Amino acid sequence: MSTYLTILGFNSAIPTVNSSPTAQFLEMEERAFLIDCGEGTQVQLRKAKARFSKINHIFISHLHGDHCFGLPGLIASFRLLGRETPLHVYGPKGIKEMLETIFKITETHKGFEVIYHELESKKSEKIYEDNRVEVYTIPLDHRIYCNGYLFREKPKERHLNMQEIAKYPEIETCDYHNLKLGKDFILSDGYVLKNKILTTEPSKSVSYAFCSDTRYLETILPIIDRVDVLYHESTFLHDLKEMADNTGHTTALEAARIARKANVGKLILGHFSNRYHDLSVFTDEAREVFPNSFLPKALEPIKI
């Protein structure tokens, strides 16, 4: 099963005719995660032909409007679409009060349970886990409390070598699960069949790191070390580094330095200031430090 990232919006602050604020749709191990929810996210989800019903977990980086103002409308649409499944919302402390106040004032009746996971730790912590995927926070340095998120597939099961297994009638279908988990098989005469004979190496587990609004921050390096794909904000070019520092943002050059020092596979830049009309200047700057840097393409699925 492949992992796909669809970037729904990647510009900063103000929506434009051709771009939307931050939002991403991540499909990993048959799970669907929504990362940030700027204004217009549900329209972008429609354009991406994403199934709303698959989204059970939403991760909000921080409570600036271009990252969360689309969330009340999306939740209201869930109700209109007949949702009954609980929805988990992860975000900074205060997100529950914000949403529930809106729902109260507008008399929005959800019809399903919203389970809030409010975050306030300044250390990385595991906030989601099931048998296939785990998610960690990436503490960032913005003007307000902010987290990025690391999504990581757990080690996958080994593949069965059916040609070899067929040589041993004692191995039944019910034994396949233990073989996939890496266990040896003991024949009735006590002979031990090593697992590496009966199986082949598992598929590679992949990882994706989303780093939203932040100043240049090297403390994230151990958390995102060797991730396959890193999305890192790059609001300004480096000639405006002072403005980036003052507003709690990163330059394209700094994002590339983070990618290089973390040994990531691929860097996707984003969260561009509207002052720039030709976005190729961001990759021009970043590729001088980290050649495998790219611009996002809205609504185009990226295989990780």
Active site residues: 66
Closest C-alpha to 198, from 218, 170, 156:
170
One-letter amino acid for residue 291 of the chain: P
Cα distance between residue 52 and residue 193, in whole Å: 47
**Could you tell me whether strands 293-294 and 266-270 are parallel, antiparallel, or unpaired per DSSP bridges?**
parallel
Cα distance between residue 4 and residue 54, in whole Å: 14
Tokens describing residue 48: 């991406």
117-136 b/e with 16+ CB inside 10 Å = b? eebeeeebeebbeeeebbbb
Cα distance between residue 87 and residue 52, in whole Å: 11
Cα distance between residue 128 and residue 226, in whole Å: 20
Positive or negative, the Cα torsion across 133, 136, 142, 145?
positive
